[in-house]
Chain A
């Protein structure tokens, strides 16, 4: 792995808001839709941790969820649209392939034309990558960056594919990154040799013959993703902590992407981390929120802690690309309300 590390000292996170899809789905009530028996459904529930999940209804998009989250965040922090210098949107499910969704959110929020806006097309590693970009812009002189991350993955899966459809939850998060003194370190990695481990074929310009009849729906090679995760995530944690000069005991929370219960429990046991420091209920309650899973986990289960004191956190995102990244950041009494359900 590369030894290069992104180090920041003048950027902080001041608030995080997550809005989940408006439609609650209970896995054991819906297993028949996937053509699986009740027995098989109970096995999946036990292994993967499938419980409930929240998805969007109708024509709602990631941008709608992020817009709602951004309004709540700006109101909560007392930051107006005119005070924001850049808007970064991270998603695999933009409104259009082009133009960038960040720009339409900027317009809807009433931000100045002097706002820098762009999209980052990443999935489960996207929050960490987006946060690093936001930190870099603040470090270089901007004051407030609105980072929007999220996905409506329920719309990009084959609804009958029981290996992937029942996992997906929809959510959008808004994160405010502002100027402030704090040490943060990021380690970012990519491996394009695994580009087809998680892929939406026929969704761009390239058409590969092996996918000639495949619908533009997310395909997952679960075995390859499993191997990738167990090989790289523990190393990612060790490397980022080492570069931060911190031991695992000095980290208050390890907030990881939330693919499934077994993967997270395995990582917890491998790293010998106190289970209480690694929230891993998100998948079972909200579903796999993809790029929003890390902020979604903070809002879903750790909001009180983040709102009441100083917290040192390891963030770990990993998935489609293949792409993965870790970060250690410190926060102090940030705005982090409980996850909102859209429309409630």
Chain B
């Protein structure tokens, strides 16, 4: 899987969670703060779904939750771009 395919997968998971949470969002911008869009339960679900898909695609478990998950400054969810960058770095895909 290349970076564009991974991005598409992550965006699909985010929009699916928005749909599940009945947020009526059809698209997500790179500077959208996911912590402001989703509640904590949805954030955990996003992490679980993404970990699950990453595991299925890459064949190994890569933990995406840490002590900064809900930190307003350090969280990877402060923007969609940050969340994508965080995933690229963790799975070892170039963030160019």
Chain A contact residues, CB within 8 Å of chain B: 37, 39-40, 43-44, 46-48, 163, 222-224, 226-228, 230-231, 262, 266, 269-270
Known contacts A39-B20, A226-B40, A269-B63; A47/B70 CB under 8 A: no
A44 touches B40 (CB 8 A): no
Contact among B20, B61, B69 for A227, CB-based, below 8 A: B69
Whether B68 lies near A226 (C-beta < 8 A) is no
Assuming the A-B contacts A226-B40, A269-B61, are A231 and B67 also in contact, with contact meaning beta carbons closer than 8 angstroms in the complex? yes
Give the chain B neighbours of A37 by CB distance below 8 A: 22
Q: Which residues of A contact B20 (CB under 8 A)?
A: 39, 43
**What residues of chain B have their CB less than 8 Å away from a CB belonging to chain A?**
20-22, 40-41, 43-45, 47-48, 61, 63, 65-71
List residues of chain A with CB within 8 A of the CB of B69. 223, 226-227, 230
| B44 with A226: CB separation less than 8 A | yes
Least CB separation from A231: chain B residue? B67
Q: Across the interface, do B71 and A227 meet the contact criterion of CB distance under 8 Å?
A: yes
Q: Is the Cβ of B65 less than 8 Å from the Cβ of A224?
A: no
Contact in complex: A227, B68 (CB < 8 Å)? yes
> Which residues of A are found within 8 Å of B63, using beta-carbon distances?
266, 269-270
The minimal Cβ–Cβ distance linking A324 to chain B, given in whole angstroms, is 13
Q: Provide the residues of chain B in CB contact with A48, threshold 8 Å.
A: 41
Q: Which residues of B contact A226 (CB under 8 A)?
A: 40, 44, 65, 69-70
Chain A residues in 8 Å Cβ range of B43: 223
A sample of 20 inter-chain contacts (CB < 8 A) reads A39-B20, A39-B22, A40-B22, A43-B20, A43-B21, A43-B41, A43-B45, A47-B48, A223-B40, A224-B70, A226-B40, A226-B69, A227-B67, A227-B70, A227-B71, A231-B67, A262-B44, A266-B63, A266-B65, A269-B61
A71 vs B61: C-alpha distance in the bound complex, in angstroms? 46
Q: A266 to B40, alpha carbons, bound, how many Å?
A: 16
Q: B40, A222: Cβ atoms under 8 Å?
A: yes
Q: Assuming the A-B contacts A43-B20, A46-B45, A47-B45, are A230 and B65 also in contact, with contact meaning beta carbons closer than 8 angstroms in the complex?
A: yes
B67: contacting residue among A44, A163, A222, A230, CB under 8 A? A230
**Which residues of chain A have C-beta atoms less than 8 A from B40's C-beta?**
222-223, 226
Question: Bound state CA distance, A228 and B66, in angstroms?
Answer: 9
A225 to chain B, nearest CB (A): 9
Min CB–CB distance B50 → chain A (angstroms):
13
Q: Is the CB of A223 within 8 A of B41?
A: no
Residue of A nearest to B62 (CB): A269
Closest CB of chain B to A163's CB: distance in Å? 8
Complex: how many Å from CA A230 to CA B61?
16
Question: CB < 8 Å: which of B44, B66, B67 contacts A47?
Answer: B44
> Considering the chains assembled together, what is the distance between the CA atoms of A46 and B41 in angstroms?
11
